[in-house]
Amino acid sequence: MRKLPLIALLFIIGCIPTPPWSKVGGQYFDDSQNFYVELPKGWKKSNRVIYLLLTRDGVLLQNIMITRMDIDAELKYTKKKLKRDMLPQEVAEVIIDDLTSNPNILNFNLIENTPAKISSHQGFKLLFTFRNEEGVKYKSVYYGFIAGGKFYGIRYTAAERYYFDKDIETFEKIVKSFKLLSEET
């Protein structure tokens, strides 16, 4: 009879949903996404998405995303495709087309499109602004590169007024700490 309450308690604990956010700070290894990065203290990580999504004050104020996808996967908003042998600037053009085709990104304005080195990989850096459907102006920095058959994207987006400048240095530290756990083939 004593086992019944214990079993019921374990069942109830097992049914408790995962909290949507958890506090982070320090080393972060993601074996399933094949990368390591240093996360800032005082930020939170979403527990509800497969990519790394961080915020300090709320995703609509500022967020950092690190994504990884197969280069054969279809992009959400463009018909253009990524290819293994593309030059970094060609990859950037595909990503720009996907961004400008996104109906949630209004008044897209590309400020900068330059080559960048992310860890030991040749890639690109985009700097752009846009507005959302409510008219809020955002500013984004987007680094990307192809390693083997995968595309990696590291993006910071924040409300241009106040929040972008507040956390851009934190984002750049994250980019500098980014490393692949093993080289993609």
Q: What is the 3-state secondary structure (H, E, C) of the chain?
A: CCHHHHHHHHHHHHHCCCCCEEECCEEEEECCCCEEEEECCCCEEECCCCCEEEECCCCCCEEEEEEEEECCCCCCCCCCCCCCCCCHHHHHHHHHHHHHHCCCCEEEEEEEEEEEEECCEEEEEEEEEEECCCCCEEEEEEEEEEECCEEEEEEEEEECCCHHHHHHHHHHHHHHHCEECCCCC
Q: Find where tokens 């959302």 sit.
A: 132
Mean pLDDT of the chain: 91
pLDDT single digits (tens) 14-56: 555 667 999 999 999 999 999 999 999 999 999 988 899 999 9
Percent of the chain exceeding pLDDT 70 equals 89
- Distance, first Cα to last Cα, the chain: 56
Q: Find, among 139, 142, 163, 135, the residue nearest to 67 by Cα.
A: 142
What is the tens place of the pLDDT at every residue in 74-83? Answer: 999 999 999 9
Q: What is the pTM of this model?
A: 0.88
Res. 73: pLDDT tops 90? yes
pLDDT computed for residue 1 by the predictor: 46
Tell me how far CA of residue 14 lies from CA of 6, 9, 10, 21, in angstroms.
12, 8, 6, 18
Q: Which amino acid is it at 54?
A: L
Could you tell me if 67 and 153 are in contact, meaning their C-beta atoms sit under 8 angstroms apart? yes
Task: Summarize the confidence of residues 81-92 as an average pLDDT.
Answer: 96
Q: CA angle at residue 152 from 146 to 171, to 5 degrees?
A: 130
The answer to whether residue 171 scores a pLDDT higher than 70 is: yes
pLDDT at residue number 48: 87
Task: Give the domains, in start order, of the chain with CATH numbers.
Answer: 19-180 (3.40.1000.10)
Amino acid code (one letter) for 53: L
Mean pLDDT for the stretch of residues 135-152: 96
